[in-house]
Structure 1
Amino acid sequence: MGFEHLDTIYYFVLFFVALFAGFIDSIVGGGGLITLPALIACGIPAHLSLATNKLQSVFGSFTATLTYFKSTTLPHLAYGIFFTALGAAIGSYSVLFVKDEHLKLIILIFLTLTFLYTALRPSLGKHESEAKIKNIKFFHLICGLT
């Protein structure tokens, strides 16, 4: 079961949800926090919802990568691409071993925790700081897993 069971109205709803999420994503990030629940609410299985959401985010990430490419050296970019791809492959493969109903529960828990963390931290994003990541390879691996 995939998208074939959806009525036409769901396609329109998901289209406008995706536009809105893309707009939010371009300003503050986190558009996937909008599209993922919408996909699941339309009755799309969790595995397919995750894959669809990830595919949509690839386009935004690709644009960010091009911008980053202009401001960094090639070795840093190569590490980022390799370890992010490795993490994405591991995450995509491992999620196949989780039952759909368990995956929906996991997604619900993490979306709720993300919402609570964001809502209860009023200072989040109000000050600029320079990112200091000590182990960039591990960071990219974790980014790929998520």
Structure 2
Amino acid sequence: MPMDLSIFQLLGLSMCVFTAGVIDAMAGGGGLIALPAYAAFGVPPALLLGTNKLSSTLGIWVSTARYIKHIGAHPKEFVPMVVVTLIASAAGARAVLLIDPQWIRYMLLAAIPFVSVAVLGKRDFGKDDTSAALKPESLRVRELAIAAPIGAYDGFFGPGTGTFLAIGFSRVCGYTLIHATTRAKVINMASNAAALGTFLWAGRAHLELGIAMGFINIAGHFVGSSLAIKKGQSAIRPALVMICSLLFMKVAYDVFG
């Protein structure tokens, strides 16, 4: 049994990881649920991020593949966004050495309410695709303009990256939330895989627990992506708002707690 957890502890952790997978598949931000759960059930701090990254990466592969198949996209069209995001993420990670992350927390406290209003204030947010009104070159530039700063944020700070990507792609590029979420998932999958490789190389993941919870996370991502594909904007929009709210509470606790 992973980490000598009792059956009841495993059930409790599994419920949390499953829920994280469902939410993450629809709106990103699953780590806001899974990380506290792993910590609460005794995963050592040194293994916490790597174990969560292992289980979440297994799950995100499933939802990403389902979204790509659903919208009929070819994976190669996402390559420029992925490359730009990984470069920006590496730059963001370097910036941690130069800038106090506390400033990012203050900026998030100011920005998250506006992001939530942008989603809540428009009932049909992400329902209709208006991207066809843009020239292909303009659309690519907008995609990269979203991917670069949020990629840097991912490397510098991290929480809610997938959520911000989905909202940005929908608001700036005119994609439906299902198309925007697909792009966010592809980028998240690439960055997760890169980070996971680093954690595994350094021995900073509990392999047995991470793989076991990975299967639970896969189930969550399957359910979450099924809801998003079936319900579309009506399922994704409230999930985005919930993750924004959780992120706001986490950042507020970090700043004032």
| Common fold by TM > 0.5 | yes
2:165 equivalent to 1:53:
no
1:28 is aligned to 157
1:1-146 equivalent positions in 2, closer than 5 A: 5=132, 6-7=134-135, 8-29=137-158, 30-41=160-171, 42-69=173-200, 70-72=202-204, 76-77=206-207, 79-81=209-211, 83-84=213-214, 87-88=217-218, 91-92=221-222, 95-96=225-226, 98=228, 102-121=231-250, 122-124=252-254
Is the contact made by 1:47 and 1:96 (CA closer than 8 Å) also made in structure 2? no
Is the contact made by 1:2 and 1:45 (CA closer than 8 Å) also made in structure 2? no
C-alpha displacement of 1:111: 1.9
Structure 2 counterpart of 1:77, one-letter code: L
Larger radius of gyration: 2
Gaps of 5+ in 1: 128-146
Q: Distance in 1 between matches of 2:189 and 2:256?
A: 27
What is the TM-score of this pair, normalised by structure 2? 0.39
- Alignment partner of 1:72: what SS? coil
More moved, 87-96 vs 26-35:
87-96
Aligned-pair identity in percent equals 16
Higher RCO by CA contacts (8 Å cutoff, separation 6 or greater): 2
What is the TM-score of this pair, normalised by structure 1? 0.63
C-alpha displacement of 1:27: 1.3
Is the contact made by 1:32 and 1:53 (CA closer than 8 Å) also made in structure 2? yes
Is the contact made by 2:228 and 2:235 (CA closer than 8 Å) also made in structure 1? no
Residues 85 and 13 of structure 1, relative CA distance in 2, 3 Å threshold: farther
Q: How many residues are treated as equivalent by the alignment?
A: 124
Gaps of 5+ in 2: 1-70, 74-130
| Greater share of helix | 2
Q: Distance in 1 between matches of 2:239 and 2:149?
A: 21
